[in-house]
Structure formats: structure tokens, C-alpha cells
Structure 1
């Protein structure tokens, strides 16, 4: 069967500051609202769409041509598409890839994801860079931009939103170690991506994935060698239960590794604040320096909040000495934290980016090895 032709149904995009873009409906028809953010990746759109960290966000792709490789059954990072809406300039008419099973347009339509195509995504991205991420609405049923704008301004903002419970698993499940089991890790699912426990399993780790609502007692019942916090959506300042759980684990000396949202919650557990970035980091081409090794990594990011910690001074906490271990070379945003004891031995660490890196790059895969060394007591 031939793929659907791109829609000729008009669609409307309105930002909360009143900027209007008109294009064609893409994916499902209807109306949607969320926070407008842009992603600079030139590939990996399927992983982006299925990343739970994008829950309640309308993603603008800066790459102009999207959908070339269609949609397959191997690359999803979760069981569904999580974005609230999707914005592309030039959707592929026909996918060309040996793994493709259906078109991106069909997948968006089947999952009820409202999108828009045929607009100037470069102009939209420049607008978001200058004005900051903001609420947005997309509609193929509303033609009055003022009416849509009113509904955009009534929609919920991202600041203050506690969303991990909306994307987390409801039941604990286990990802078995590949080959000989070496360690057991309790992983709190705040919006975990499929590739993350897979990367740990490759290193002989049996991963027990727990709901975001898990208690410290439930974590300890796993008898873990380490604790892991995943990526996830929402405002870290609106989260309290997971911060208290982490403080209890750190107080017991349990080795900890966190990524993305897990980095922000680690920061809050150590006593640092968090803040909302103007437009965030989203894409697979962000340069970060690892101060531990001096190496520069090209990394995958998806975050709109960051940790407010001193870049060049250690901080004494109830759990040890905390320092900033990784820094973004574009804007000096904190990209990682380390916690060491009085003798300088690493006890826990986190990074703001995605070392599992599907669809790439893979510069940061060593962090999973660092976690293994930490549990071995040799980091």
C-alpha cells in the first residue's frame, strides 16, 4: 500500500507571545498544547519522539527534512510517542530504509499526535532562542489565531510541573544481566529510556526498574549494589519524594548514578537549587568537558532545567564533598556532579546528558563503566 500523501489540511501554530505560523496538518488532526522546544539532531527522530522526557512538550525539529527513514520496530525508547506535538518543515513523502515498517506521518496519526509541517522552522527556532521556550498550541480545527492564543495562555506551564509519575512504570520489572551477573542495581523510573538498562545489562548488571513512587524500603528490598535515577520530564523543584529517597540512600552510603533528571534531583539532594534554562539543550551534538579526565565529549541532551552549583569551588554536604564534574562548553551550564568522601574517594556521581545515547553519539558510554567501578569500590 502506498503511504499517505502529505496533508493539505491547513494548520495553525500560535506561541504564547502571539507569534503565528501557518502550515499544513501533519500526523493526527485536532488540537494540542505544550511547551515549545527545539531539537537540533539531524537523525534519531524516532528516539526523540518516544523519549518520555518530552512529555507535554511540542518538539520543533531544526533539521529541515524529517521522516526519511520511516518508523521501525527496533528503535523506540519506550512503548509510545510522548511528545505533545510535532513541528517539521519538510516531511519525507516516501521513507527509504530497509528497516522501515511505516511512515512517520502514519505513526503520528495512529498515535494521535497532532503536528504541523510546511512552516519556517528556522524562524521559529530563532524566535525561541531569543524569547525562550514558551507555551504553544497547534490546531487543524481552529482558524482564528486569537482564539487559539487564548487557549494557549490557559494551558499549564512547565515550571512547577511534577510529571515523572505520569510516565513511569506502574510495576517493578527486571532487566537481566547479559552473561554473568556481577551487580544488582535499583533503577528509579522517572521516564527511563529502553536503552539505559540495556547498557547496564551489557556490563553484567541486573537492573530492577522501580516506579517513580517507590520508597526507600522498596529500593533496599532489592538488596542493590547501586542506585540509579533516570531521565524524565518536569520541574525538579516540584519533586520532593524522590529527593528524600535519594538523601536516605546517600546517608546509607549506597553508590548512586543519575542522568538528566537524575542529575537535577542529585543536585537538590545535595542542597543545590535548580533553575529553568531559557531554551534548554536538546539534540545529539552538545559539547561537554569531563573535568575528571579533561576529555571533551559530544553528547546527547534533552533538558530544560539545570543545577545551580558553583563551578570552581567544592561544597561540603551532609554526605561528603560535592563538586561540578562536567560543564557544557557552549554556555557553562552544570552537566555533572561528583560526591567524594573526606579522602577523595568517589561515592556517587551524575550527568545532565544521556550516556546511553540512542541514536548516538557514544562518547559518554564510559560512564556506565565508571558506575561499575564505583560499585566495585575502585573508582
Structure 2
């Protein structure tokens, strides 16, 4: 399938250091971005679908690196079906599992946690709710796991490991297991903040430095934050990625962002949601945090978008997250919301308003075009201009 998006008013690249790309057209073919910039009439004539952005903004699909999936598009925590597809209508084209801890009666023995991780990885390998990519299967680190277990998991395709929800009374006991997981090529993540489950201990900056995971999960609190003084130490004394979550503490999210910028470590800042949890289901959670950081810290929104797209892609080794040739063709069209005071998506974010999501593409396929069911309508008439396929790409009714 070959798809084009034309008449773009702005292209946000996903790279916060060079956040804007020139041009007004994006071509996609066979699931990958073919070109970003311009296209001639012959190239457009060869497309199966042409979407007219009418001056709206293109950006990479959002990557939520902290989603509590279970099996299927269902969350037992909130007893809701279809929440992942709803997140897609919030511009999220990729969800990365924060481990399958919400599976009812989840196992805690080594055989059980291995089986759970492998089963989740397998179940979502081809399952794409609403067209979303879901990277599932994060082994929950529990007492008794050995080097051989991590080798087995890696051979089975599991590449995520989660510390902080296991039965360790002392968080430092996670250290050797995190090192084993790293040795076998896994991205390691660590619950940070107040105690995660009854019987466990809070995990603060001292623990983060000692355990040394790839990612400090919800460093701003999940939902309870660690002491303020620990933020600068984690930023200055480690290379741990700093994941900010919508379901955490907004004040410390701002604090952590300031520290990252002060130490020239914005590359390590990630935006995620940490949902579904007790905080609920948040289809627009990623955009909420982008809006908060941009408007409250007076940061360019195109820079902040990089923390929700390219930074996540780089830390987790994913091929989406950037609007560049050869990358996964996962992108969204956003605009100023109808009735707002701003005339562009970036202007709305800086102003503190939500954006309107007018189209979502994953694998180069339009998942809907026109209007998200979760956002205000776009100001501009984003539409399918040409369609040579027997499919309807219009958005579902609100």
C-alpha cells in the first residue's frame, strides 16, 4: 500500500534537537516512510490513498512507554474493553508494556513469571487493536530467577524486564537480576517512588543509582514521588532514562524537566501515562503531559513532543517515533481545536489547550481520517482526497 499526506502546514520530526522538518508532503509505502518533504505529480498518482491535511500538522505517532496491558484490549483494573483502540484516538500508535502486573491472580514464581511474559509477547506479536503496535511481555523480576531463566526469556523474544513489583523487601535485591537482564539484552525498568504493592518498600533516587536500570519508571511518582533532592542526583550521576507519567506528580514532573534541561540531558526525558491504574484510563494522557510541560515551562511544544516520540523510540530501540525515510510509517495529523484561540496545533499546545487529532496512520494505513472521537474537531478540513481501495477511512461517529 502506498499512501501520501499532502498540503501539510508543519512537520514535527520527533527529534527534539531538530524538531521541525521542511516540506509539505509525506509518502509512505509498505509500512515505512518513503520520503518527507515534497512529491511530484507522478508519485502522487501512484498512491492508493492521498490525504489532504489542509494545512494541519504532521508528527510521529505517540509512543506510550508505560501501559498496563493484560491480554486483549481489556483492562481488569478498570473493567473496560477497547481502551487501547481509544488511546489510538488520542494519537498513541505504540504502547509498551509496563509488565502484565494487572493480570488477575498473576503468578510470582520463576516458572509463572516467565510463562506470563512469553504468553503476553506472543499474544500481541500480531494483534493490533485499532492498528496500534503493542510491545508486550515484560518479565516481572521475582526471587528465584537465574541466569538461565534470562537466557531462556531472551531466546523466546522477551526483551523487557520490570523491577519493583516483585517480592523483595529490600529494593537493592533487584540489582543482580537487573544486571542479568541487561546482560541478555533486555531493556530494564524500575518502579520509582512510593511503595508499589503491600509489603514492598519505597524506591528512591539512591536505589535508582544503585540498581541502574535503563528506565526509571514514573520518576515523578507512581503516583507518589521520591524526595525532591534525589532528582538532581539521578539526572547528574546516572544515564538512567527519566520517564514522566501523566498519572504521577505534576510538580515533580516540572522539577525533573528543569533538571534535565539544566544538565543538558533532555535526551533522557520520556513521556508516558502509567495507565490504566487507579488514576483511570487516559486516552489523551500523553497530550496532557506535552501540554503541561510546554505551557507551564514555556518550552517549544515541538521539543516536548520529542520526549513522547523520538526519545522513547531511541531508549527502547523502536523503529517508530521519527518522521524520517525508512522509519515505521506511524504518524498523526493534529490541528488547533475548533473554537480555540490559536491557529495551529503547536500554538494550542503552548497555550495550554488540547490539540485536535484529525488522522492516525500506522504501518502507513489510515486508521481514521477526519476527527478523533476523543478530541475536539480540527479547525482545518482534513480529508481523504483520493482513495483507490475498497475501504472507508472516515472516522467513527463521535
Indicate the structure with greater helix content.
2
Indicate the structure with greater strand content.
1
Per the normalisation by structure 2, the TM-score is 0.30
Per the normalisation by structure 1, the TM-score is 0.31
